[in-house]
Structure 1
Amino acid sequence: MVDDKSLTYWTTAKYRQNLMITEEDAVAREFALTIEINGEQYATIVCTPTDLKELVIGFLASEGIIRKYEDIQSVMVDDYKGFAYVELHFPVEFTERTERWIGSCCGKSREFYLKQDVKAAKTITTKLQLQTNQVYQLMKEFDDQAEVFGETGGVHQAGLATEKQINAAFIDIGRHNALDKLFGHILLHKLSVKDYCILFSGRISSEVILKVSKIGVGILLAKSAPTDLALKLARDLQITAVGFIRNASLNVYTHENRIQNGLDEGIYFTK
């Protein structure tokens, strides 16, 4: 069932060859959410106005401001005014966040864009392995759940799954927001992610790899292409990056040992 908050309808003139028709077209909603921490404005996120509590929690964790949900004293979202009010159990010093930082982790030099990435990114150790037929089946289920994308074509989706099924999925107009909502869900429900993988609808960028690292998941399954910096980070952070999952084919770019051949020729999908 599509959440009414995630989309709206717009009267649209559509041309099909020489014929013009007027229809109500589904359009993804865009919403500005300002986060206040301990009474001080910290950031404004442009997002889809669903699962906003999860978004706030995941965003703060991704920024390195909190480590666990218990760091938060209270969080209140006013989706009418577009504000999220967060009280932490400790003070926060707001510093300049636009500098380029170089960090060092596990004996290797690693390039980061934000100081928070140096603090929060971590090398992943997981024993989870997936067979290719399991990957295809998970992506098919992931596609089948993408109702808002089917209606609008204007959102990204991120999901958390075991080798057998998808346990949670979140959508947003921003691909990073979708991952932050997933992160918030994990912290809110105190989930152990060592036996999970992440499914993702978008491109594998360096920022996406960093968020997956901060979440603590070792396998990323994506529908689209990676960038070279993303793959360098994935290799360094020991994340298995899998892209172009479609029509019973996929590309494993890093840490290939976690994906094993097990093709079921009966699984095909075309989205």
Structure 2
Amino acid sequence: MNTDLMINRGIIKYNGNAFEEIDDVIANEYPLTIIVDGDEFATMVCTPDHLDELVIGFLASEGIIRAIEDIAALSINEDRGFAYVELVQKQTMSKDFFSKRFIGSCCGKSRQFYLHNDVKTAKTFMKQIEISVSQCFNLMTKMQEQSTAFQLTGGLHNASLCTKDQVLLSRSDIGRHNALDKIYGYCLKNKLSITDMMIAFSGRISSEVLLKVSKIGVGIVLSKSAPTTLAVNLANDLGITAIGFVRGQSLNVYSHPERIVS
């Protein structure tokens, strides 16, 4: 059992007739503070595995770095819950900049809801790729089969980087956005080409999730759950195909359906 993802704890369970003492598996929750060039940048609550990938992906998503070469040094003190990052070029903008809302001039477009860092880092997907309905079902099944930690704890989100036919990489976390940052960090750390790849996801497609998918640079996101209205608006704007409720033998296509073939 991966104790980074989950921990055994003794609990009291009522089974319908009586109380009993049993061992249960609980999702691991861990605070991690990121220090960039000596200044505290952010504290996140996460699942403490693949922390280097999480930090790299988070910094890229926030627009602090663009490539792994932008990081001069990265060290993590897991006992204290601190990640120390030194950049090749020192960050000049105040961290408050990254949480300020950007109001664009594009009336009626969802892009007016971007934060300033989202304006810098969101990518419009322009490639012509296709996936069949049967491939969508197959990828969702494979992602769920690999989600052992979720099945045991019921408390983790799962994200997978996929080709049309197979799951290449899966990450889990108590935060849906953290699972995506871990995938992004892996891609940057290993300089992985993501041409023609897609994301399979266990949770709701919120606007934050959709923007993370855009920043990673993929054009199709599959989920067994629902999208939100702003996520669908963003997907249409950013050229991303959002597919929800991939369950059994049915699915819903919410944006750019031209990529889905029967």
- TM-score grouping bracket, smaller chain normalisation: over 0.9
Where does structure 1 lack aligned partners over 5 or more consecutive residues?
A: 262-271
Q: CA deviation at 1:112?
A: 2.8
Match of 1:119 in 2: 120
> 2: distance between equivalents of 1:46 and 1:199?
22
Match of 2:210 in 1: 209
Once the two structures are overlaid, the 10-residue window that deviates more, 121-130 or 40-49, is 121-130
Instruction: Encode CA deviations 1:236-268: one digit per residue, 9 max, x unaligned.
Output: 10100000011111111100011111xxxxxxx
Q: CA deviation at 1:109?
A: 6.6
Q: Report the residue type matching 1:153 in the other structure.
A: G
Q: Percent identity?
A: 52
**Pairs within 5 Å for 1:92-131:** 92-93=91-92, 94-96=94-96, 97-103=98-104, 110-131=111-132
Match of 1:267 in 2: none
1:242 equivalent in alignment to 2:221: no
Instruction: Encode CA deviations 1:57-116: one digit per residue, 9 max, x unaligned.
Output: 0000000111111111111111111111111100113241432212468xx671234210
> 1: distance between equivalents of 2:81 and 2:129?
40
Compared with structure 1, are the counterparts of its residues 175 and 85 closer, same or farther at alpha carbon in structure 2 (3 Å cutoff)?
Answer: same
Q: Report the residue type matching 1:189 in the other structure.
A: N
> 2: distance between equivalents of 1:184 and 1:22?
40
Q: Report the residue type matching 1:90 in the other structure.
A: Q
> 2: distance between equivalents of 1:98 and 1:256?
32
Secondary structure of 2:100's partner? coil
Once the two structures are overlaid, the 10-residue window that deviates more, 6-15 or 170-179, is 6-15
What is the TM-score when the length of structure 2 is the normalising length?
0.95
> 2: distance between equivalents of 1:149 and 1:11?
19
Match of 1:269 in 2: none
Once the two structures are overlaid, the 10-residue window that deviates more, 6-15 or 172-181, is 6-15
Instruction: Encode CA deviations 1:210-230: one digit per residue, 9 max, x unaligned.
Output: 111111100001110011111
Aligned-residue RMSD, C-alpha: 1.3
Compared with structure 1, are the counterparts of its residues 64 and 128 closer, same or farther at alpha carbon in structure 2 (3 Å cutoff)?
Answer: same
Match of 2:219 in 1: 218
1:49 equivalent in alignment to 2:48: yes
Match of 1:154 in 2: 155
> Contact 2:41–2:95 (CA<8 Å) still a contact in 1?
no
Q: CA deviation at 1:174?
A: 0.3
Q: Report the residue type matching 1:12 in the other structure.
A: I
> 1: distance between equivalents of 2:238 and 2:246?
22
**Pairs within 5 Å for 1:131-146:** 131-146=132-147
Secondary structure of 1:224's partner? coil
Q: CA deviation at 1:21?
A: 1.9
Compared with structure 1, are the counterparts of its residues 29 and 109 closer, same or farther at alpha carbon in structure 2 (3 Å cutoff)?
Answer: closer
> 2: distance between equivalents of 1:26 and 1:3?
11
> 2: distance between equivalents of 1:103 and 1:138?
37
> 1: distance between equivalents of 2:143 and 2:37?
37
> 1: distance between equivalents of 2:164 and 2:41?
38
> 2: distance between equivalents of 1:195 and 1:113?
26
> 1: distance between equivalents of 2:118 and 2:229?
18
> 2: distance between equivalents of 1:43 and 1:112?
22
Secondary structure of 1:64's partner? coil
> 1: distance between equivalents of 2:171 and 2:48?
11
- Runs of 4+ residues deviating >6 angstroms: none
> 2: distance between equivalents of 1:34 and 1:103?
32
**Pairs within 5 Å for 1:12-27:** 12-27=11-26
> Contact 1:103–1:109 (CA<8 Å) still a contact in 2?
no
Secondary structure of 1:101's partner? coil
